[in-house]
Structure formats: C-alpha cells, structure tokens
Amino acid sequence: MLDVKKDFPILRKSIVYLDSAATSQKPYSVINAISNYYRHSNANIHRGIYKLAQRSSDLIDLSRAKVAELIGADPEEIIFVSGTTEAVNFIASRFRPPEVTLSVLEHHSNLIPWQQSGAKLKFMDMDDLTGNFIAVTGVSNLLGTIAPLSKIRKHSPKALIFVDGAQLVPHFPVDVHKLGIDFLAFSGHKMLGPTGIGVLYVRKSLLNKLPPWLYGGDMIDEVTLTSATWAEPPQKFEAGTLPLAEIVGLGAAVDYLQNIGMAAVRRHEQDLTDYALAEFKKLKNIVTLYGPASHRAGIITFNVNGVHAHDTAQILDEFGICVRSGAHCAAPAVARFGVPAMVRASFYIYNSKSDIDYLISKIPVVYDRLHRADS
C-alpha cells in the first residue's frame, strides 16, 4: 500500500476524504510549482523574446511533453483546455459527427454536448458499443465500471472513438496509441493538479480536419483586415492566454504520479476497492451496493437502506467523512436503479484501509439514527 498522505497538507486535518472522483487533493509539490511559477517565471508565452518570457514558454512546453508521455501521445497531439467538459464541447461542436453512439453510463458532460450538437444519438450497453462515432466514458464516475476500450476498438475498427478520461487517466496506465482511440479528454484537478486546466488529445491525422475552437491571439499564422490563417496544431486550438500557472501545476502533478508509477496507482486503488467491497458486504442487511461485483475502479456507490443519500452524507460529515451524495452528474444512469440519489465513496493514492474501516464503522450509526428517528 502507498503511504503518501503526509504529502497533502489538507489531509493533515481531521478528515477522511473520500470524494476524489469529484476532485483530488493537491500535494505540496503541485502547490509549490504554482507558487514558484508566479514568484520566478511569470510572463506570457509565444510573445516576448526576453529571457523571462522564454523561461515561461519552456515550462509550458515541458508540461505539454510530460502530459504527452503520461498517455503515450506526441506533444503536438496535446491541446490544453479548461477541462473535460470544454474538450467534449469542442469536439461535439466543431467535429460534428452526424451520429454518435453513447453508453447509458455517461456523465452529463459527455451527454449534453452531444444532445446539443444535432447528432443522432444511439445508446448501447458498455460491452456492445458500435457505430461510426463512439463517445464513451473510460471509467464511470457513478459505478466505477471500466470500459473495455480495446474490445470496443477491435469490435468497431473503423469507428472514431472519443473517450471521456476524467476518471481513467488519473487512476490507470493509459497509452492512446496502443488503445487506438482518436480523442481523449481529462481534467487536471482530478489527478492532483489545479482546477481550470484540462487536456484534449486528438490523433495527429485528425488535427488538420478540425477547425479552431476559439479565435483570437496566439492561434494565428497571418492576419489581414479581412482574413486570417491558422498556426500549426496544437497552437491553432489555444487562442488567448492559457492558464499558465495551472499548466505548470499540471506538469508537477504528472511528475508526482509518474514517480509513483501508474501501475502502482492502479494496484493501490484495486487493493482498497477489493477491501472495501468485502467490508461493505458485511453490512448487506443495511446497505445496498451498486455497480460491478469486481473489476471496477476505486469507486463504491451505495445507499443505506431506508435513508436518503443526502442524509447519509450529512451524518457522515459529522464524523469528518467526506463523501458525495446525489445523482453524480449521471442522472439517467441513477434513474435506471429506481432511486433518487446515491452515496459515492471514491479513493485515490492518499487513502488507506483505515479510512475505509472508519467509514464502515459509521454506516451503522447512520442507519440506527435515521431508523430510530422514524420509530
């Protein structure tokens, strides 16, 4: 098991943080990288020829290269965006496939943009996705279901595949070229990095088929009063001033994860998940579990029987346990289970079996308090 909690200042408080699927906590190295950028390297990129501007540009280029290495891509295939949501909207509105096949587990961010794109939508189960353009979550933020991406590629060899990697990239080894996917989106804040920065990977052969997402400074080649031409990708898709400190912070987050190794990250979370599932099964008379019985990401979704999810989360908060309750931005999937809301505990590298033990010990307290109140 990993022992890294000491690297996260907020976890020195008396809390058990089990909401990393919503956002991860940040290690000192990421916080310091952002602070040091503003202290020592702050200047706009691609504009100045003075040394400070060059140093800033070099840091952004280095972060882009780190992100590319993390997912097995080339640096020019990495486009910086504000997060997964912007990336999906970018492809849905600019690539505009006439028909999109989705799973029934999609986060709203990988559903609503396609609804609004004008494309014809088809919905299939996770293990039976077919079509010419497939948009699928890599890992369900609701149930921890892991998409069989290699199987989908083999089953649909000519399809273009877009993967919502918000819950995939922070937790699993990923190689986009080996997976054969065409687009991948993920967010920095779910992988130890800052908010406001995310990544869109686009396969190199598709980059020139995409029109720009935004227009303005730094994405142009030549401009006249009546026309303009575009810079080469990825700059073509990065109009205006990027969130530079956040990009540097993302690079530091990638360093932290790479130093651990993504295979070790996955092993740690798998051990926690297996342990948690076994412990939850001991509470089978008072808890309902949702999602796969095995082979799932570090997400446990449940309800205390006869108790609304919000009540469960509120009582757990009294004991310093941070879990999320609600529809988890996956309302259609929650509705399939016939409940209004669910509780979600999600793990990351800084969690331990003692965190799970503490959660498990307080669930009977929730049950007893609410059922006693009803009696």
CA 198 to CA 183: how far, in whole Å? 13
Q: What stretch of H or E contains 314?
A: helix 309-318
Structure-block tokens of residue 28: 């000192």
Q: Identify residue 87 by its one-letter amino acid code.
A: A
- Nearest Cα residue to 311 out of 374, 218, 361, 262: 374
Q: Identify residue 227 by its one-letter amino acid code.
A: S
Structure-block tokens of residue 315: 């009582």
Q: What is the DSSP letter of 9?
A: G
CA 235 to CA 201: how far, in whole Å? 13
User: Which among 161, 329, 359, 366 is annotated as catalytic?
Assistant: 329
For residues 181-214, one letter each, b for 16 or more C-beta atoms within 10 angstroms of the residue's C-beta and e for the rest, the string is bbbbbbbbbbbbbbbbbbbbbbbeeebeebebbe
- Nearest Cα residue to 351 out of 280, 285, 283, 298: 298
Radius of gyration of the chain (CA): 22
- Nearest Cα residue to 342 out of 312, 297, 374, 370: 312
Locus of tokens 């010419």: 132
Q: Identify residue 173 by its one-letter amino acid code.
A: P
**Residue 293 contacts residue 277 (beta carbons within 8 Å):** yes
Please name the residue ranges forming H helices in 117-175. 149-155
* DSSP assignment of 298-312: SEEEEEETTS-HHHH
Locus of tokens 């200047």: 43
Q: Is 329 a catalytic residue?
A: yes
CA 310 to CA 326: how far, in whole Å? 7
CA 375 to CA 361: how far, in whole Å? 22
Catalytic residues: 329
